[in-house]
Amino acid sequence: MPAGEVLDTSAFSEDILDSLFFSEEISEEIRQRIWGNSYQENNYVSLSDLRYLRVLHVGFDGETHIGELMVNQSIAEDILEIMSELYRQKYPIEKMLLIDEYGADDESSMSDNNTSAFNYREIAGSSKLSRHALGLAIDINPRYNPYVKHTGDGGLLVSPANGGEYADRNQEFSYKITEGDLCLQLFSEHGFAWGGYWNSVKDYQHFEK
């Protein structure tokens, strides 16, 4: 079944559920999906460094969905363990598709609240490679947990742009990653840093290692 599909797991045993969380090397089919999109020829990360993950997640509709991620092989087991626990705790994640489904465009993926990881790109507004370019970062429910930067003229830069209403973290709303949140707890236990703890900017969706 393709990623994004709803799966009826009501009759599944724990062993069957466990088998639906897995990592594999990049197949020819996946290579064709990502080549020239999220993956660009470079000197820093090869296809053999990456792993394609299939997981389950509970969508905002309360149903079980098939999710897919691309990450560095060094964090593949971490991500599988985290996603497995989030699923079992029914932590809601709306969508989880490779960013190539959005033409590898970060803004498009984030504005659709798509959770994704690998994308060979530079940090926005910089010539420095993002941790996403190495497959060492993941963005969770990005519209509800946007990147927020105060500009020199007193303004506010929010990404994705349609996440502006969620930039004020003092207000209460669903799907907010904050202190005490299960998602933050699990990523922290696995040694990831959270962008919500950064000083100059806040990137509430972002976990990296």
pLDDT at 123: 66
For residue 98, the tally of other CB atoms under 10 A from its CB is: 24
> CA separation (Å) from 77 to 53, 93, 182?
10, 19, 18
Look-up of token digits 């105060």: 150
Q: What is the mean pLDDT of each run of 10 residues along the chain (209 residues)?
A: 94 94 98 97 95 99 98 99 98 99 97 98 73 97 96 87 96 96 98 96 97
Q: Model pTM?
A: 0.95
Provide the 3-class DSSP secondary structure of residue 53.
strand
Reduced to 3 states (helix: H, G, I; strand: E, B; else coil), residue 169 is coil
The residue extents of the domains of the chain are 14-208
Distance CA 56, CA 88 (A): 9
How far is residue 96 from each of residues 53, 66, 189, measured CA to CA in Å?
A: 11, 8, 22
Position 83 scores a pLDDT of 99
